Amino acid sequence: MMTDTPLWSPKPEALARSPWMAFAALAGSRAGKPLEDPLALHKWSVDDREGFWSTLWDFCQVRGEKGNTILENGDAMPGARFFPEARLNFAENLLSRTGPEPAILFRAEDKIGRQMSWDQLSGLVSRLQKAFRAHGVGEGDRVAAMMPNMPETVACMLAAASIGAIWSSCSPDFGVRGVLDRFGQIEPKLFISCDGYWYNSKRQGVADKLAEIAAELKPEATVIVPLMGEAEEVAARIEGALTLEAFLAGHSSGPVEFTPLPFSHPLYILFSSGTTGVPKCIVHSAGGTLLQHLKEHRLHCGVIPGDRVFYFTTCGWMMWNWLVSGLAAGATLCLFDGSPFAPDGNVLFDYAAQERFAMFGTSAKFIDAVRKAGLEPAKTHDLSGLRLLTSTGSPLSPEGFSFVYEGIKPDVHLASISGGTDIVSCFVLGNPALPVWRGEIQGPGLGMAVDVWDEEGNSVTGEKGELVCTRPFPAMPIGFWNDPDGEKYHGAYFARFDNVWTHGDFAEWTAHHGIVIHGRSDATLNPGGVRIGTAEIYNQVEQLDEVLESICIGQDWDDDVRVVLFVRLADGVALDDGLKQKIRTRIRTGASPRHVPAVIVAVDDIPRTKSGKITELAVRDIVHGREVKNQEALANPEALKLYEGLAELQA
């Protein structure tokens, strides 16, 4: 994985002006030793967690009372308590700016464009807050939303957080069962939805679906937010529903009232993908989420007030929660709702150029799709304002790294990041003080005691193992909803290694102190007893122009496991013996003979979750004749039928 020259290195003058170096100077003065070296700063942040998180609070000027105690029971995982005496309000920290400058820019696929100033956002939040209270919403009540990524969604979340209610959201493309499997568990007092949305150049109605969902959820009120100009018609079809205009009637704007709450007060309920059963309801704290996101936005991403920050996400993915915290850094959020390829793959780069994004967040799949579409934004768009490009959702291949610098922007800081819904943030991510090496994530987040362990729990470098975190951190979940004894929570993360968070990623330290994610460890292949990460195979096969995308599983076969590769091919391409040999040769030379699939099968579609992640476990279950219990969690569940009873897998 090593190369002689990094793809990018920080410019000394820019680094000297960065929030990272300002924080390092403050931390060094408090620690009584120089911490300008990024590896030394990370070591201190893990060794002195009380000093680090307290300094971060002060540096980011968190609004609230910090208290005298920073960490209690600090060696217990779970069980550690950060800032047990603190009182703060999440929404207050996101609404700290005022004025006519834009807080939010918004574009929808049908070319709708709006902006909302900081004063307008606060004004809407204040009206929503009053309306929430008038409908009996208070501390600990749940507010659930099936909404597009639009300004009103952000405002509704902030209104809920301002009074201590718990926010949960999904995107409007979820089916009835998918919504009920999530929100039915948390019994929301208020349910918020749009009146429809655009996707892939088509109007998508939601009225029938909404009526069925609301009838089963039985919230105190259902609020319909206009996007398509049909809010009144949709509300009329749902018992107890109000348009947003009617919901806000009689509530004038004014100063937002912020309820001071404990650091550990619940803020969000996020959901696991649910592809192996009913989704787990993961509860995140206001203080832990705020501090972790401030650290990642301000220090790792270098966000400063006025920066325009974009992430391509829906409200059903934790990156939406991550994105909106950019307000706490004083950034302008750039929201987009719709398909990133309608009408073509330039639409997001058009947005980036016109609004001068400082940060552009996307997925590895998007980057690869842009490459395969033959697009070269570096030649067609003015991206001179773009400082940082981040990628997540799946491991970014080495070729994806190269394409960013060759086809998108040669001097951008590329940050591949990895974490998840489980911590609503990152374990490993970009670092503005370190070079970018091809195929490598730059390193662990500050304050995160990340390591890679072998099967016996030994730390390993240069070989693959389990990604773990050996010390508590504030963004650990409070727990799971409806898990009073914590049994499910403990089983999810702490059963493998006692008192150590095991994340479920198959990872490897590099000689550059970076890290490579080889895929999910529960999807790891074991042919002949050798552990292979699926990402290692994807990195090779998806560089072929003939292959649009692929999915790989291990099939139980002849008392062992054999590697089976499914490929979705470009138009007009057939999977003949020549292409099979080309695929196998590419994998053998680019990875190893162990990675070469025993069977290669062409398919027309690949099943994926609502957030765009391919579902290896679901395909593995189908191939082995096992039921996929929660197909509502998939964006395209019909694709699973393509993998049933395949003759190619019987011999």
What CATH number is associated with residue 547? 3.30.300.30
Instruction: Write the secondary structure of 33-69 as one string of H (helix), E (strand) and C (coil).
Output: CCCCCHHHHHHHHHHCHHHHHHHHHHHCCCCEECCCC
**pTM as predicted:** 0.89
Q: Phi and psi (nearest 5°) for 415? A: -120, 105
Q: How far is CA 185 from CA 35, 179, 271, in A?
A: 46, 10, 11
Please spell the DSSP secondary structure of 166-188, one letter per residue.
EEEEE-TTS-HHHHHHHHHHH--
Tokens of 173: 């493309």
Q: How far is CA 94 from CA 98, 272, 426, in A?
A: 11, 26, 20
pLDDT band at 609 (very low <50, low <70, confident <90, very high): confident
In terms of domains, do 195 and 209 share one?
A: yes
Residue 430: domain span: 12-89+286-518
| 461 in a structural domain | yes
In terms of domains, do 510 and 561 share one?
A: no
Angle between helices 49-59 and 38-47 (to 10 degrees): 110
- Please state whether the peptide bond connecting residue 343 to the residue before it is cis, i.e. omega within 30 degrees of 0: yes
DSSP-derived secondary structure letter, 529: G
pLDDT of residue 1: 43
CA distance 12 to 10: 6
Exposed e or buried b per residue across 168-207, where buried means at least 16 C-beta atoms within 10 angstroms of its C-beta: bbbbbbbbeebbbbbbebbebbbbbbbbbbbbeeeeeebb
Tokens of 413: 């800081």
Question: Does residue 486 come out as left (phi exceeding 0), alpha (psi in the -120 to 50 range) or beta?
Answer: left
**Burial (Cβ within 10 Å: 0-12, 13-18, ≥19) of residue 402:** middle
Q: Are strands 241-243 and 560-569 parallel, antiparallel or unpaired?
A: unpaired
In terms of domains, do 418 and 496 share one?
A: yes
CA distance 77 to 153: 34
In terms of domains, do 399 and 329 share one?
A: yes
**Burial (Cβ within 10 Å: 0-12, 13-18, ≥19) of residue 153:** buried
Radius of gyration of the chain (CA): 24
In terms of domains, do 345 and 454 share one?
A: yes
In terms of domains, do 448 and 300 share one?
A: yes
The alpha carbon torsion through 477, 482, 485, 488 (nearest 10 deg) reads -60
Tokens of 534: 């699926």
- For 519, the 3-state DSSP assignment is strand
The total number of structural domains that make up the chain: 3
CA distance 551 to 343: 27
In terms of domains, do 478 and 556 share one?
A: no
- Mark which of 501, 518, 535 sits at the end of a domain: 518
Beta-ladder partners of 5: none
Q: How many CB atoms are closer than 10 A to CB 14? A: 13
pLDDT band at 626 (very low <50, low <70, confident <90, very high): confident
Residues with Cβ within 8 Å of 134's Cβ and at least 6 positions away in sequence, in order, are 251
* 187-200 residue pLDDT tens: 999 999 999 998 88
Q: What is the mean pLDDT of residues 563-575?
A: 94
* 450-488 residue pLDDT tens: 999 999 999 999 999 999 999 999 999 999 999 999 999
* CATH code, domain with 231: 3.40.50.980
Residue among 53, 522, 483 at smallest CA distance from 290: 53
Tokens of 583: 């695929």
pLDDT band at 630 (very low <50, low <70, confident <90, very high): confident
pLDDT band at 247 (very low <50, low <70, confident <90, very high): very high
Q: What is the mean pLDDT of residues 597-603?
A: 94
* 315-338 residue pLDDT tens: 999 999 999 999 999 999 999 999
In terms of domains, do 77 and 124 share one?
A: no
In terms of domains, do 507 and 560 share one?
A: no
- Mark which of 488, 518, 548 sits at the end of a domain: 518
* 203-243 residue pLDDT tens: 899 999 999 999 999 999 999 999 999 999 999 999 889 99
Q: Are strands 266-271 and 281-285 parallel, antiparallel or unpaired?
A: antiparallel
In terms of domains, do 133 and 220 share one?
A: yes
* 162-177 residue pLDDT tens: 999 999 999 998 888 8
pLDDT of residue 274: 65
| 481 in a structural domain | yes
In terms of domains, do 147 and 186 share one?
A: yes
| 106 in a structural domain | no
| 273 in a structural domain | no
| 103 in a structural domain | no
Tokens of 254: 């004014």
**Is 84 in contact with 66 (CB distance < 8 Å)?**
no
* CATH code, domain with 27: 3.40.50.12780
DSSP-derived secondary structure letter, 257: P
Residue among 267, 321, 265, 271 at smallest CA distance from 296: 321
pLDDT band at 276 (very low <50, low <70, confident <90, very high): low
**Is 164 in contact with 265 (CB distance < 8 Å)?**
yes
- Mark which of 455, 483, 518 sits at the end of a domain: 518
| 295 in a structural domain | yes
In terms of domains, do 488 and 344 share one?
A: yes
| 111 in a structural domain | no
Average pLDDT, the chain: 94
CA distance 174 to 180: 10
Q: Is the pLDDT of residue 2 over 60?
A: no
| 156 in a structural domain | yes
- Please state whether the peptide bond connecting residue 593 to the residue before it is cis, i.e. omega within 30 degrees of 0: no
